[in-house]
Every structure is written in structure tokens, then in C-alpha cells.
Amino acid sequence: MSSSTVARAMRLLAELGEGERTLEQLAAVLDVHKTTVLRLLRPMEDERIVQRDAAHRYRLGPQLFALAGLALEQRGIRSVAAPHLRELNAATGQTVHLAAYEGGEVVYIDKYDSRHPVRMYSRIGLRAGLHCAAVSKVLLADLPVTVRQQLADKIEFTPFTVNTLTTPEALLAELDTVAAQGWAQDHAEHESFINCVAAPVRDVTGRVVAAVSLSVPDILLPYEQVLALLPQLRATAAAVSADCGLATH
Amino acid sequence: MSSSTVARAMRLLAELGEGERTLEQLAAVLDVHKTTVLRLLRPMEDERIVQRDAAHRYRLGPQLFALAGLALEQRGIRSVAAPHLRELNAATGQTVHLAAYEGGEVVYIDKYDSRHPVRMYSRIGLRAGLHCAAVSKVLLADLPVTVRQQLADKIEFTPFTVNTLTTPEALLAELDTVAAQGWAQDHAEHESFINCVAAPVRDVTGRVVAAVSLSVPDILLPYEQVLALLPQLRATAAAVSADCGLATH
DNA sequence: ACGAGCGTTGCGTATAACGCAACCTGAAGA
DNA sequence: TCTTCAGGTTGCGTTATACGCAACGCTCGT
């Protein structure tokens, strides 16, 4: 048993998500009398969940923004992403990272370990190398160009491997590529035997709020096959973005 | 007459906005039987407006983010203004707000945080104080005089600081000034340590459809230097207005 | 000024939301 | 392992209340 009245109210919200509607349009969608719709809408209007303009057309209201903001604060990107990361981890069997840019650094927020017994020393809360980690490239690529340049000048370009980018120019060029293609790689730039790919998570405003990555030792999969995981990775990142409120249609 | 069932459902959403709740907690808040709460929540859970974890604790769900995102998209001014607001935020480093007048209230539609680590508690979807916020003054100043007067009588003139306007007469006089000069200020009228300036965004018909504001803690910039940001602010508002004219025709 | 279209209100009826109490489930303790 | 207890879940009778209908009102457009 569940409340059909509330179910109708939810259907109204979904319908209003498509665009502004008049009372009678909504009544037609629910296949009920317009009186009914009016009385369903009234409490929602009181709470500013829906609004009506001068022409009595209904639309979604500002209280929805407020609620969504509260919900995100409560849960954080981490818990929103968690089920999707778990799924990606299960599907690929590889190490999955979630990272965010916070005050000049890139921090790992969450991690799901590979099923294979290959140790990785990353840990939640640790900082990722700004010039080598795939997640860093994704996150930096969304920053304004001026900020990128300032950051690039401050970075210490520790040459972890022969592939590590060692100059601000090389990094900035790479970031342009990443911004254009919508994903990033780390081709043995931090560890000579590990390749990574990363994709951005965006919120409603379109801003990149986090990055998801797959890290794979080349004894498990050669570089080319890591790139073959890109579709799955990007699908995961898109799913997390969707749960953050990014419209998918 | 309106549906008390839906009203209860809305109260549930508001309560869940405060944090995770158990079934019985919610029942206590609504002062109804827990069975009732269960049946109210079920349709919302079906639509993923609320979610429950393994321990049967309810929280706001991802569909809420999706709806909020759709609602923001429906507000066309937001996406038109976004690039300009981002630019103003980057150029000044200060907190930028976009607000609109909707049905008797002023609502924040968008926000770009200051780079400086000074917390502001405003949030997208919240209402701005009609008698103190700079954006409110800009938006109210464009209303017909009769509407202004009706509104001024309804406002509760909460005296947030010593500078807060406390009478309808003072507000109406201020609105005349704002209408004449084309911008508004909030000189520590809401928070004793924050000054704001706001400028109007107009559509082709010349009507004010939104307001852009800068909010600056006086530890960062004293009042006089906030006023010095006015040209940049007005340029941004003018650019958004121009895009509104192009976009709508 | 008039009519059409849409939103709003009052009211009677039938639905379905409500509270109650019994039942289930899962966790903690002895 | 069995017991207990604290939640959540289900079935059912009652009555509140959500619903549809029809009449009314408001605002445009002609």
C-alpha cells in the first residue's frame, strides 16, 4: 500500500521538469480533473517547490534548488558517486579513484581497490601529483586559463618516470588537449608500470566537481587495453554527473 | 481546500533537508502514525526523490538534483548570464550573485563563490531580504510604484544591523534613488561586515529581469573600494542585458 | 461590450488515507 | 543457539478527505 495522492504529486514534478505547464495540461497528463491538480499543487506552491507566474502557468520552484543544495552538502560527492564507483570497480576489476580539486591541490576522496593483488600506495585523503595524475589533469583542465598558468608555475615537476611532464608548457598543452577531448590519461607518468585514465564529473552548473579514474598495472593490461576501458569509465562519470543533477536530455 | 496529504509529503522533504531521518523520527515530526509516513515516502522513493540506506534511514534522493537542474535550466537568464558572471568572479575574486524577482520574493538563481576563504551562507534557491539585499533593491526599484508600496507594507523590517532600513518610507525613498542611479548598495545592512553592490539586467523591453551583485567582506575591501568595483559590475550587467536582447530575438 | 477560455469554489459521494494492532526481521546479549 | 527488543511492515475497519461535477469568476481578445 502506498499513497496514490503523493504518487500523483511526484508525477506532477516530473512533468514540470519538462517545462512550464498549465493546470489543464497537467490534468490531462494525470488523467484527472483539473480541480484535483489544483489541490495537489497548492501545498507544493506553499513550500515553493513549484511556482506559478502571472499567467497561472506552473513551473518548478526555487525550494528545489535549496533542497538539492542541502542534499549535496549532506552526502558529498563521495556518497553520490559511491554506488557507481563500486559498479565500475566490479565490472573492470581495476582500481577506481575519486578525486576533487580543493584549494590548489587534488585530493583523493574515495578509492576502490583492484581485485588483483597489486599494491598501490594511493590512499584517501592523499594528494595527487598535479603534473602527472590523470585525475589532476581532468580537474585542472576545467580551471580558468589564468589560474592554470599560475598553478603551473608553482608546481614542482618531479620527474617520476621518463614519461613525466617536466615543464609548465608541456602541462598546459596537455590540459588543453584534456579539456578538448573530455578525458585524461597518465601513460606511466607517475609509476613506470601503471597507466591511468580519468573522466570528469560535472554538477548542475557544468563545473567539474570531481574526477573518476581507473589505474591499471601494465602486467594486467597493456596501455592500449586500458584505453579500451574509456567507454565504461566515461559512462560511470556521466552517471555520477547525472546524480549530481546534470540534465541528461 | 488543498491536499493535506501532499502538504505532509512536502513537510517530509523539508525535514529530510535537515539531515537523515528514521521513519519514527519523521512520524514524530509530523505527529502522525509511522505507517502513514511509510506510505507517504513510498511513492517518493519510487521516483528517487528520497532514498533509504541499508539501515532504513531516509534521505533526499538524486532525482531531486535532477529536478533542480531542470528548474535552473528553465530559468533562461541563468545560462545567458553564466559566462559573464564567471568572468566577473574571476576578475574581482569576489562572490557574485544572480537574483530574480519571482512572485513577491527575490530568489538567488546563481552564485559564484569568492576565492577567499570567507564563508557566505547564501545559497541558490534561498530568498534575499527584500529590505536589505542590494539585489532586492535593484529588482524592486523596477516595479510599478503601486506594487512597491503594497510590497513595502507587507515586508517585515527585521533590523539585522544598525544600518538596516526599518520603515517602508525609508525603503521606498531608497528605491527611488536606486531607480534613478541604476544601481544599488547594501552598506552592511544585512551583515555588519559585508558590503554589496548590485546592478540590473534588462531585457529588450527594458524591464529588469534579474540583478547581479558583488558581496565583499570589509576585511578584504573597505566600503569605498567596493564602490570602485561598480564599473566592472555594471559592465557585466550590461553584457548580460545585451545577450538577453540577442537571445530573445 | 461580449464571449470564450481558464482558473476557482462549494458540495456530495466514494475512495483511499489513516491509526491500530499484530506480524516480521535483523541485531545485540546471555 | 536461543531470547529479547527495537525498528519496520502488513491487514483491516473507520472515517476523514481527495475526488469529480457543476456553477461561478476572472481576464483576455475581438
* Confidence band for A92, pLDDT divided at 50, 70 and 90: very high
Interface test with A, best of B15, B41, B58, B67 (most A CBs within 10 A): B67
Query: Do B47 and A20 make contact, defined as CB atoms within 8 angstroms?
Result: no
Query: Do A204 and B67 make contact, defined as CB atoms within 8 angstroms?
Result: no
Query: Do B210 and B75 meet the contact criterion of CB atoms below 8 Å apart?
Result: no
Query: Do B74 and A1 make contact, defined as CB atoms within 8 angstroms?
Result: no
Task: Tell me which chain A residue has its CA closest to the CA of residue B4.
Answer: A43
Query: Do B215 and B120 meet the contact criterion of CB atoms below 8 Å apart?
Result: yes
Q: What are phi and psi of A130, to 5 degrees?
A: -70, -25
* Confidence band for B249, pLDDT divided at 50, 70 and 90: very low
Distance B1 CA to C9 C1' (A): 9
Task: Tell me which chain B residue has its CA closest to the CA of residue A240.
Answer: B62
The reported pLDDT for the residue numbered A103 is 63
Query: Do B67 and A247 make contact, defined as CB atoms within 8 angstroms?
Result: no
Q: Give how far Cα A168 sits from Cα of A122, A130, A155, A158, Å.
A: 24, 11, 8, 12
- Mean pLDDT for chain A overall: 86
Q: Does residue B74 approach strand D to less than 7 Å at its CB?
A: no
Distance B40 CA to D5 C1' (A): 27
pLDDT digits (tens, 9 = 90+) for A4-33: 899 999 989 998 988 889 888 888 888 888
Q: Give how far Cα A177 sits from Cα of A54, A140, A170, A183, Å.
A: 47, 12, 11, 9
Mean pLDDT computed over A87-106? 86
The cell numbers describing B49, all together, are 526523490
Lowest mean pLDDT among A17-31, A126-140, A151-165, B60-74: B60-74
Mean pLDDT computed over A30-43? 89
Other Cβ atoms closer than 10 A to B149: 12
Mean pLDDT computed over A30-49? 89
Query: Do A71 and B64 make contact, defined as CB atoms within 8 angstroms?
Result: yes
Q: How far apart are CA A74 and CA B28, in angstroms?
A: 22
- Residue at grid coordinates 547594501: B186
Q: What three-state secondary structure class fits A183?
A: coil
Q: How far apart are CA A118 and CA A136, in angstroms?
A: 23
The reported pLDDT for the residue numbered A117 is 54
Q: How far apart are CA B34 and CA A233, in angstroms?
A: 42
* Confidence band for A248, pLDDT divided at 50, 70 and 90: very low
Q: Does residue A1 approach strand C to less than 7 Å at its CB?
A: yes
The cell numbers describing A1, all together, are 500500500
- Nearest-CA residue to the C1' of C19? B33
The reported pLDDT for the residue numbered B61 is 83
Distance B5 CA to D18 C1' (A): 9
pLDDT digits (tens, 9 = 90+) for B132-159: 999 999 999 988 888 888 888 888 898 9
Burial pattern A26-51, b for ≥16 Cβ within 10 A else e, equals: bbebbeeeeeebbbbbebbbebbbbb
Other Cβ atoms closer than 10 A to B193: 12
Distance A5 CA to D16 C1' (A): 15
The reported pLDDT for the residue numbered A213 is 96
Query: Do B193 and B218 meet the contact criterion of CB atoms below 8 Å apart?
Result: yes
Beta pairing, strands A95-102 & A208-217: antiparallel
| Domains identified in chain B and CATH numbers | 4-63 (1.10.10.10), 75-248 (3.30.450.40)
Q: Give how far Cα A55 sits from Cα of A52, B101, B231, Å.
A: 8, 15, 36
Query: Do A49 and B73 make contact, defined as CB atoms within 8 angstroms?
Result: no
Q: Does residue B2 approach strand D to less than 7 Å at its CB?
A: yes
CA distance A4 to chain B (A): 8
More confident site: B97 or B90: B97
Query: Do A49 and A40 meet the contact criterion of CB atoms below 8 Å apart?
Result: no
Q: Give how far Cα A159 sits from Cα of A99, A129, A164, A191, B85, Å.
A: 22, 11, 5, 10, 38
Q: Provide the H-helix boundaries in B3-133.
A: 4-18, 23-30, 34-46, 62-74, 76-92
